[in-house]
């Protein structure tokens, strides 16, 4: 028997140019399981090298439990210079519990070995009654055995180096709702799926077509690296469909390093071009020939709806093209037989965010960021000269960019194609609104216009016409700015990097699980979940928008936008349009006094949320009371009335204009209750992080002692750590991730310019690894260390060796790399210590330094997404508060009711009295919906010691960082093994019809 061990499990594969080395540690808690482990691996032809018994339990690096006994086993390959070393531990039961003790002691509980003769292994397993499952791969008739060792480690034994892929995601059954199915699938995320379950060898081409969009490069990078990690071959097709038609050197075999540096750059590095030839059958036949000659049997197309339609057309015509190419002698019979089908997967790259069946497209986040940067700058000069600016943004049939830009920049008016002005004389309505704002003291006027803006009769609304109206009717000094292709430029935001990476990876997964009958899918995002959708139906829905606008069916056009579109539009108009009497003034008996307080560390979006709350209050007749300096400020009575103009510029302000701190209310509950009564506060809006959550919980639990706390109270989560239960996103978290991305870009540039350097970058987050994880994925980190994973010596050894392998392969190149570490990832392995370990183990291939970003992550201008989310949450909060307050203002007839002496009759209590538990809540984004969750219901999902939710939606992307950084990919042999489980939800055509044609 000749064993060729090439361990492919993540965490155990450590190789250099002339050796395969792997050191794996397994731990057990009982003598029985210890002996079982030793015997089990001896049955797999490991030799027992050394065994030691300790009279006194011995401490072991990287774990809390001491060890009583250990054995070293080794498996030496007869075909290479490598070996696999196995260390088996017996832990001391008297030691503190070790969470990793019963499993394999590295990050991935799977091991994979290759043997030329499996019969000997099978015989041993049968003789010792060890259960296993045998799987045959129909592609090459190779065999793989699947079994578990005595402590539960999944072990794969195969007859050849194989690549296995995950099965298809479950499809939505008829009649089910999208959200319920996504929640159901999320609850099954722990299912046991092998990293590689069959030898599937695909040749995958990737091209970008149509208008460029930031994030396309991230998607190309992910497609190439996921393809290589899945043991497929990747091809870069340059210049879009033109390159496919031209062939030759426009179609290039892609290696791992060919997409190095793609993540941080805007545009598309493989080019895009219009191609008239591809629009004709003859041109598509030439493209088919070039695909066949290069052996490409799958194509990932990144572009807009026109580009994706062209790709689907090519697939439909494929059999006819193959038949004709064979008849013309352009391909051989063998080629015709081998390439009978072509798999197409689409990824939407569009800054307009105009795919009807997805919430976000690649490039839209970055384009919005460019618009906001430009308009924020314009506002400065406009204020200086008291000017009006009319700014045109892209969006021929889609007003998403214009609407969101108006929300983010505090624009006074917006024109979009899906919702034209209803008034025939809209010019007068606009001028009246702008005059009211100027009369209130505002120095500027800003109008955002989508390039496809129309009036109710579908006549175009042009920027020059608006300028003329403002100049002639109002006498305003008006300027027009057309942003144009500025919106396409610049580095992608963290969201587009994240979206491009995740969708690129899922595109490869969709190819690997597809059959010849699978409809061409497009990768999208709904309810904050990645989806695969039938491309044809998705494009048809998108084209329906333009037709609806043409038919004056504007409500239908708006319905085909993200679910939040109409809500955001209504909210924007109420907040932007000022009236001294109130735009939607309520009767006096329904007007409220609403307190607003910031609690915890500052976070981007706090001020935007406050501005929206204040303006809604003013326009509805409520009184907005700003409470300065957190809970202590409430205790001291540092309270003032906020008006419409006082918060005008707060949209772009970072930090906290009201002032904030982490102090809790408990020491001064009585004083706070007094101030609430003194200022007759009917409801309390808390904007803050985990301290705001615990403070709200404290106020709620003291309602019996202090009647003043029996008012509606709601927390709007705002913390960069994103660690508040009851929401997927907290305000400020994306702003912080953008800071981390920009810092990683700058540091890598510096590190590459001098010499080969690695930087260990420490980021905030407390005991939540959200910032490190999302920042690492979008910032291009080689690996990340989080409190959820912890840091062990085995993990450090794996990562250092992987880093060294990078630089060994890149001899002659100078590239900087970064590693992100959460501030509380480990008590022992601090940032400085990790940097020293990397440096000491570099063997001269690189130098290592550390960097702590610190409070940079809390500052800066809020990101567009944080501004939009802040506005959305503020509107929902005021609507919720109104309903709860009005319910609590009802006074029951208690004249004939005998109450305990300690309980006052309702008519003697404060104006609003709501002791019900549901009137104290956290508002948050769950999927794409906004939900209010009572604080008491969140207690069971809260880890108060570590200050974070017990369940975190973002953790599964951890393995994707390993994939795109090359962990598990052997640079010398090209072999790869990844532990990535597809997270996409497969939607059928019926699902789309049910969801979008209601």
* 486 in a labelled binding site: yes
* 719 in a labelled binding site: yes
* 527 in a labelled binding site: no
* 215 in a labelled binding site: no
* 274 in a labelled binding site: yes
Contact between 197 and 134 under an 8 Å Cβ cutoff? The reply is no
Task: Give the H or E element holding residue 555.
Answer: helix 554-559
* 798 in a labelled binding site: no
* 856 in a labelled binding site: yes
- As a whole number of angstroms, the distance between CA 612 and CA 718 comes to 15
Q: Is 352 a catalytic residue?
A: yes
* 306 in a labelled binding site: yes
Residue 355, SS3? coil
Residue 332, SS3? coil
Contact between 641 and 624 under an 8 Å Cβ cutoff? The reply is yes
* 352 in a labelled binding site: yes
- Burial class (CB within 10 angstroms; exposed 0-12, middle 13-18, buried 19+) of 980: buried
What's the DSSP call for residue 52? Answer: E
* 672 in a labelled binding site: no
* 479 in a labelled binding site: yes
Q: Compute CA 454 distance to the chain's CA centroid, rounded to the nearest angstrom.
A: 34
Contact between 463 and 390 under an 8 Å Cβ cutoff? The reply is yes
What's the DSSP call for residue 172? Answer: P
Contact between 505 and 980 under an 8 Å Cβ cutoff? The reply is yes
Residue 222, SS3? helix
* 351 in a labelled binding site: yes
* 662 in a labelled binding site: yes
* 843 in a labelled binding site: no
| Nearest CA among 584, 621, 644 for reference residue 438 | 644
* 720 in a labelled binding site: yes
- As a whole number of angstroms, the distance between CA 270 and CA 206 comes to 9
- Quick one: the chain helix, strand, coil %, rounded to 5? 40, 20, 40
* 561 in a labelled binding site: no
Other residues' Cβ atoms within 10 Å of the Cβ of residue 199: 20
Tokens coding 235: 């091809």
Tokens coding 814: 């100078």
* 394 in a labelled binding site: yes
Say which residue the tokens 């081409």 belong to: 205
- Burial class (CB within 10 angstroms; exposed 0-12, middle 13-18, buried 19+) of 229: buried
- Check 60, 98, 297, 352 and give the catalytic one: 352
* 823 in a labelled binding site: yes
* 858 in a labelled binding site: yes
* 710 in a labelled binding site: no
Tokens coding 78: 């007869």
* 485 in a labelled binding site: yes
Contact between 207 and 197 under an 8 Å Cβ cutoff? The reply is no
Beta strand pairing call for 67-76 and 14-16? unpaired
* 462 in a labelled binding site: no
* 723 in a labelled binding site: yes
- As a whole number of angstroms, the distance between CA 710 and CA 702 comes to 9
CA–CA distances in Å: residue 967 to residues 202, 234, 463, 726, 825: 21, 18, 52, 34, 20
Return the exposure string of 263-296: e unless at least 16 CB atoms fall within 10 Å of the residue's CB, then b: bbbbbbbbbbeebeebeeeebbbbbbbbbbebeb
| Binding site members for beta-D-fructose 2,6-bisphosphate | 662, 719-723, 757, 823, 855-858, 947
| Binding site members for ATP | 211, 274-275, 304-307
| Binding site members for substrate | 350-352, 387, 394-396, 451, 479, 485-488
| Binding site members | 211, 274-275, 304-307, 350-352, 387, 394-396, 451, 479, 485-488, 662, 719-723, 757, 823, 855-858, 947
Report, as residue numbers or ranges, the catalytic residues: 352
| Binding site members for Mg(2+) | 305
């Amino acid at each position: 028997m000749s064993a060729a061990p090439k361990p492919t499990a993540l965490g155990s594969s450590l190789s250099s140019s002339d050796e395969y080395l792997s050191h794996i540690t397994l731990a057990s808690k009982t003598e029985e399981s210890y002996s079982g482990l030793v015997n089990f691996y001896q049955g797999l032809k490991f030799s027992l090298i050394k065994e030691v018994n300790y009279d006194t339990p011995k401490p072991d690096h990287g774990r809390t439990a001491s060890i009583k006994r250990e054995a070293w086993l080794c498996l030496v390959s007869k075909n290479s210079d490598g070996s696999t070393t196995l260390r088996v531990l017996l832990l001391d039961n008297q030691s503190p519990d070790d969470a990793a003790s019963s499993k394999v002691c590295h990050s991935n509980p799977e091991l994979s070995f290759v043997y030329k003769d499996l019969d000997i292994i099978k015989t041993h397993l049968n003789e010792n009654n060890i259960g296993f499952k045998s799987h045959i791969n129909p592609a090459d008739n190779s065999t793989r055995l699947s079994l578990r060792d005595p402590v539960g480690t999944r072990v794969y034994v195969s007859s050849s180096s194989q690549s296995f892929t995950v099965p298809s995601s479950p499809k939505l059954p008829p009649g089910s709702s999208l959200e319920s199915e996504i929640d159901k699938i999320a609850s099954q995320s722990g299912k046991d799926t092998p990293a590689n379950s069959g030898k599937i060898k695909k040749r995958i081409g990737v091209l970008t077509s149509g208008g460029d969009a930031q994030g396309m490069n991230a998607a190309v990078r992910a497609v190439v690296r996921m393809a290589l990690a899945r043991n497929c071959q990747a091809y870069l097709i340059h210049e879009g469909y033109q390159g496919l038609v031209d062939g030759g050197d426009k179609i290039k075999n892609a290696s791992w390093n060919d997409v190095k540096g793609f993540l941080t750059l805007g545009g598309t590095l493989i080019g895009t071009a219009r191609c008239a030839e591809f629009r004709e059958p003859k041109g598509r036949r030439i493209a088919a020939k070039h695909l066949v000659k290069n052996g490409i049997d799958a194509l990932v197309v990144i572009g807009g709806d026109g580009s994706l339609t062209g790709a689907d057309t090519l697939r439909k015509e494929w059999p006819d093209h193959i038949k004709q190419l064979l008849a013309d002698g352009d391909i051989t019979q063998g080629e015709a037989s081998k390439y009978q089908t072509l798999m197409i997967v689409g990824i939407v790259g569009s800054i307009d965010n105009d795919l009807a069946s997805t919430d976000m497209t690649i490039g839209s986040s970055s384009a919005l960021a460019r618009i906001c940067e430009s308009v924020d700058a314009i506002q400065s000069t406009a204020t200086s000269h008291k000017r009006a600016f009319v700014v045109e943004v892209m969006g021929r049939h889609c007003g998403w960019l214009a609407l969101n830009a108006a929300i983010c920049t505090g624009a006074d008016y917006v024109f979009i194609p899906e919702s034209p002005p209803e008034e025939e004389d809209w010019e007068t309505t606009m001028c009246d609104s702008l005059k009211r704002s100027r009369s209130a003291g505002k120095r500027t006027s800003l109008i955002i216009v989508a390039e496809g803006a129309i009036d109710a009769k579908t006549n175009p609304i042009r920027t020059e016409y608006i300028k003329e109206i403002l100049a002639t009717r109002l006498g305003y000094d008006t300027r027009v700015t057309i942003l144009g292709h500025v919106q396409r430029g610049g580095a992608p935001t963290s969201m587009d990097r994240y979206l491009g990476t995740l969708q690129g990876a899922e595109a490869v997964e969709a190819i690997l699980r597809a059959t010849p009958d699978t409809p061409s899918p497009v990768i999208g995002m709904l309810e904050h979940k990645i989806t695969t959708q039938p491309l044809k139906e998705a494009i048809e829905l998108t084209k329906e928008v333009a037709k609806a606008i043409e038919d004056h069916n504007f409500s239908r056009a708006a319905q085909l936008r993200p679910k939040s579109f109409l809500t955001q539009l209504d909210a924007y108009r109420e907040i932007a349009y000022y009236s001294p009497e109130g735009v939607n003034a309520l009767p006096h008996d329904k007007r409220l006094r609403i307190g607003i307080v910031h609690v915890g560390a500052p976070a981007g979006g706090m001020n935007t949320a406050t501005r929206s709350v204040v303006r809604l209050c003013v326009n509805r007749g409520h009184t907005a009371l700003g409470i300065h300096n957190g809970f202590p400020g409430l205790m001291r009575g540092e309270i003032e009335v906020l008006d419409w103009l006082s918060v005008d510029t707060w949209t772009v302000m970072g930090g906290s204009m009201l002032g904030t701190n982490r102090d809790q209310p408990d020491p001064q509950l009585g004083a706070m209750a007094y101030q609430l009564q003194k200022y007759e506060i009917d409801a309390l809006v808390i904007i803050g992080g985990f301290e705001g959550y615990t403070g709200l919980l404290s106020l709620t639990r003291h309602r019996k002692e202090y009647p003043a706390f029996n008012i509606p109270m709601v927390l709007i989560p705002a913390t960069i750590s994103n660690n508040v239960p009851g929401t997927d996103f907290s305000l400020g978290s994306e702003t912080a991730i953008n800071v981390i991305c920009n810092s990683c870009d700058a540091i890598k540039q510096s590190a590459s310019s001098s010499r080969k350097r690695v930087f260990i970058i420490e980021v905030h987050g407390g005991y939540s690894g959200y910032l490190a994880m999302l920042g690492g994925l979008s910032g291009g980190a080689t690996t990340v260390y989080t409190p959820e994973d912890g840091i062990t010596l085995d993990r450090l050894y794996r990562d250092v060796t992987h880093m060294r392998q990078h630089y060994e392969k890149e001899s002659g190149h100078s590239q900087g790399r970064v590693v992100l570490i959460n501030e509380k990832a480990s008590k022992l392995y601090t940032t400085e210590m990790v940097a020293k370990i990397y440096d000491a183990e570099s063997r001269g291939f690189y130098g290592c330094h550390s960097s702590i970003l610190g409070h940079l992550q809390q500052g800066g201008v809020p990101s567009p997404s944080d501004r939009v989310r802040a506005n959305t949450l503020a509107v929902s909060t005021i609507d919720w508060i109104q309903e709860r307050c009005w319910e609590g203002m009802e006074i029951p007839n208690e004249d004939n009711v005998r109450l305990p002496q300690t309980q006052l009759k309702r008519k003697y209590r404060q104006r609003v009295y709501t002791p019900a538990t549901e009137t104290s809540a956290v508002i948050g984004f769950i999927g794409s919906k906004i939900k209010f969750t009572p604080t008491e219901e969140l207690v069971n999902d809260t880890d108060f010691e570590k200050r974070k939710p017990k369940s975190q939606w973002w953790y599964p992307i951890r393995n994707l960082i390993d994939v795109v950084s090359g962990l598990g990919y052997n640079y010398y042999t090209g072999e790869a093994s990844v532990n990535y489980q597809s997270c996409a939800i497969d939607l059928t055509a019926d699902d789309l019809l049910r969801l979008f044609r209601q």
